[in-house]
């Protein structure tokens, strides 16, 4: 898994000075964090709302593997509006974590290129095909009705 180390100087305050090590988290961990802070409609499953700040804060904490001994970064500190981490420091941590846990430019390019191999997925029935099947079913029933009347 990828890691990134950053040495923070005194520009965000002496409390935050030191070495921070971030490590990429798994897709499963990231998905669990997102689901924890996302509300879904019980019937349709559509997203009602998401707490993006909590998602980002938990992702930062899950990725943060080492920090100065006095442990200046906590989830509570990241989420606090009154005595939280400085905005610039939070933004820096977010950029690092998003870079580590996100899809890279190369991966995006690879995923968006068309495949040179032929499409191996099977075509599904379209609504037009389904209508044709319904029409076919209706003809079968009419023919069966005619046959039963003529045999009586």
Write out pLDDT tens, residues 84-123.
999 999 999 999 999 998 855 665 555 456 545 444 444 4
Token reading at 19: 């070495």
CA separation for the pair 141, 146 (Å, rounded):
9
For the full predicted model, state whether its pTM sits above 0.85.
Answer: no
Domain boundaries along the sequence of the chain: 3-107
**Residue 78 scores a pLDDT above 50:** yes
Write out pLDDT tens, residues 18-32.
999 999 999 999 999
pLDDT (mean) for 34-40: 93
Q: What is the pLDDT of residue 114?
A: 58
Q: What is the pLDDT of residue 75?
A: 97
3-state DSSP assignment of residue 24: coil
**Residue 43 scores a pLDDT above 70:** yes
Burial class (CB in 10 A: 0-12, 13-18, 19+), 44: exposed
CA distances from 12 to 7, 52, 81 (A): 12, 23, 16
């Amino acid at each position: 898994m990828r890691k990134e180390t950053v040495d923070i100087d005194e520009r965000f305050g002496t409390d935050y000075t030191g070495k921070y090590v971030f490590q990429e988290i798994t897709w499963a961990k990231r998905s669990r964090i997102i689901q924890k802070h996302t509300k879904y409609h019980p019937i349709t499953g559509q997203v009602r709302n998401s707490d993006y700040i909590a998602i980002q804060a938990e992702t930062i904490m899950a990725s943060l593997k080492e920090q100065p001994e006095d442990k200046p970064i906590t989830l509570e500190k990241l989420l606090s509006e009154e005595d939280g981490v400085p905005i610039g420091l939070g933004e820096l941590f977010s950029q690092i974590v998003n870079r580590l846990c996100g899809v890279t430019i190369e991966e995006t390019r690879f995923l968006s290129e068309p495949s040179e191999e032929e499409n191996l997925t099977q075509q599904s029935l379209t609504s037009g095909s389904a209508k044709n099947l319904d029409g076919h079913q209706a003809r079968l029933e009419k023919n069966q009705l005619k046959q039963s009347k003529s045999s009586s």
